């Protein structure tokens, strides 16, 4: 039988407000609210059926390859655990437990630990490719929840729910998280001229890869479980900021959006000690001194991408102020499409 090839891509996202309140047990106990938006950076996957009885996983951007004789289940150890876990789920739930000889090749426009949901988005992209290959009857909520189950339950990796839903749905979304894995995604209809103004008023700066996200998330879990007064109140403030940011966004009130981002960053820093560090503080200080209106790390914290609101006429001043540091600015645009798959 001739081999078949499918491809997919899923967008990365910027967390505009509410990040961290989608992490259990906070979302289970108090409900979480998150506002995020997909951008024109993606995770990509190509799957080709193999004519030989083997499975090959290749992460081109990480320089990692794993291969083995095709099996109905692959141990979740060694490299490329997310690739293996996704394969296991697809074989178990949708292929009758029959092994699936395939070559899976992936890459992403941003490294893991950069705060834009790369790992979770990669699972969505891989799943979307399998969906295309096997014609799986999965809706958007099904796909996002399955990606969450694979990463959080099958692999035991700590984290929230927003990334899987952002990658699947795409666009600007206000998300609500409840107990029992209930999620409501509210797509926001934003006029093009508002999106244009936000893009002109934002900078995206890569501070370096974060190696703290798992520790930060564990700190947040401890906060929710222990009821630590100050940190818990900070999480409540972060949740409230998502609702306020949604209103400012819909009204195209950039100044208020910038102010909310500033308040959200101050609250987020109180959620866990490792969210900021001297390197991030220096970037923040230089940007603000050069005229930035506000800035906040996207994602769990400890590194990764920092979003900045600026006056469009002051963009170059802020960029110049950070030119001597070991970081880089990324050009980006907001996108409206979620995960996509197609046959080649």
Nearest to 259 by CA among 306, 231, 285, 296: 296
Q: What is the pLDDT of residue 223?
A: 62
Q: Beta strand 294-297 with 328-330: parallel, antiparallel or unpaired?
A: unpaired
Radius of gyration of the chain (CA): 20
- Of 292, 283, 294, whose CA–CA distance to 241 is shortest? 294
Token pair 């001739």: residue: 2
pLDDT digits (tens, 9 = 90+) for 163-221: 999 999 999 999 999 999 999 999 999 999 999 999 999 999 999 866 656 666 666 66
List the structure tokens of 194: 């508002």
Domains within the chain, CATH numbers bracketed:
5-190 (3.30.230.10), 192-330 (3.30.70.890)
| 102-108/54-59 β-pairing | parallel
Mean pLDDT of the residues in the chain: 92
Catalytic (active site) residue 163? yes
pTM (2 decimals)?
A: 0.93
User: CA-to-CA distance for 195 and 191, rounded, in angstroms?
Assistant: 7
Q: Which of 42, 117, 112, 114 shows the shortest CA–CA distance to 80? A: 112
305-309: strand order across its sheet: 294-297, 305-309, 202-206, 328-330
Q: In 3-state terms, what secondary structure has residue 180?
A: coil
What are the tens digits of pLDDT across the range 295-318? 998 877 778 899 999 999 999 999
pLDDT, one tens digit per residue, over 250-289 is 999 999 999 999 998 887 777 667 788 888 999 999 999 9
For residue 91, pLDDT beyond 70: yes
CB 265 within 8 A of CB 275: no
Residue 221 in tokens: 């879990």
Mean pLDDT, rounded, for 1-8: 90
Whether residue 26 is predicted with pLDDT greater than 60 in this model: the reply is yes
Rounded-to-integer distance, Cα 320 and Cα 95, Å: 54
Of 22, 109, 163, 219, the active-site residue reads 163
pLDDT band at 340 (very low <50, low <70, confident <90, very high): very high
pLDDT at 55: 98
> 311-339: per-residue pLDDT in tens?
999 999 999 999 989 899 999 999 999 99
**Cis, peptide link before residue 25, omega less than 30° from 0:** yes
């Amino acid at each position: 039988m001739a081999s078949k090839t499918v491809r997919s891509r899923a967008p990365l996202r910027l967390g505009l407000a509410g990040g961290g309140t989608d992490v259990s047990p906070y979302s289970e106990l108090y409900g979480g609210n998150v506002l995020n938006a997909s951008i024109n950076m993606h995770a990509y996957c190509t799957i080709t059926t193999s004519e030989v009885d083997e499975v090959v996983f290749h992460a081109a951007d990480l320089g990692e390859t794993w291969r083995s004789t095709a099996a109905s289940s692959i141990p979740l150890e060694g490299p490329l655990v997310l690739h293996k876990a996704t394969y296991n789920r697809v074989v178990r739930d949708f292929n009758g437990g029959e092994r699936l000889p395939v070559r899976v090749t992936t890459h992403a426009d941003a490294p893991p630990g950069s705060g834009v949901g790369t790992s979770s988005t990669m699972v969505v992209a891989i799943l979307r490719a399998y969906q295309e290959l096997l014609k799986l009857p999965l809706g958007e909520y099904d796909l996002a929840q399955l990606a969450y189950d694979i990463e959080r339950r099958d692999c035991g990796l700590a984290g929230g729910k927003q990334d899987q839903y952002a990658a699947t749905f795409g666009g600007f979304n206000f998300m609500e998280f409840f107990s029992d894995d209930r999620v409501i995604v509210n797509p926001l209809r934003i006029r093009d001229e508002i999106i244009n103004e936000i893009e002109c008023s934002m900078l995206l700066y890569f501070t370096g890869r974060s190696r703290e996200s798992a520790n930060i998330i564990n700190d947040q879990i401890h906060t929710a479980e222990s009821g630590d007064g100050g940190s818990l109140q900070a999480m409540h403030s972060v949740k409230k900021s998502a609702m306020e940011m949604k209103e400012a966004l819909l009204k195209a009130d950039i100044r208020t959006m910038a102010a909310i981002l500033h308040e959200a960053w101050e609250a987020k820093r109180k959620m866990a000690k490792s969210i900021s560090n001297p390197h991030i503080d220096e970037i923040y200080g230089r940007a603000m001194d050069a005229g930035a209106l506000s800035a906040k790390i996207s994602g769990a914290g400890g590194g990764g991408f920092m979003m900045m609101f600026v006056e469009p006429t002051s963009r170059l001043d802020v960029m110049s102020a950070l030119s001597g540091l070991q970081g880089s600015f990324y050009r980006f645009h907001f996108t409206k499409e979620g995960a996509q798959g197609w046959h080649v």
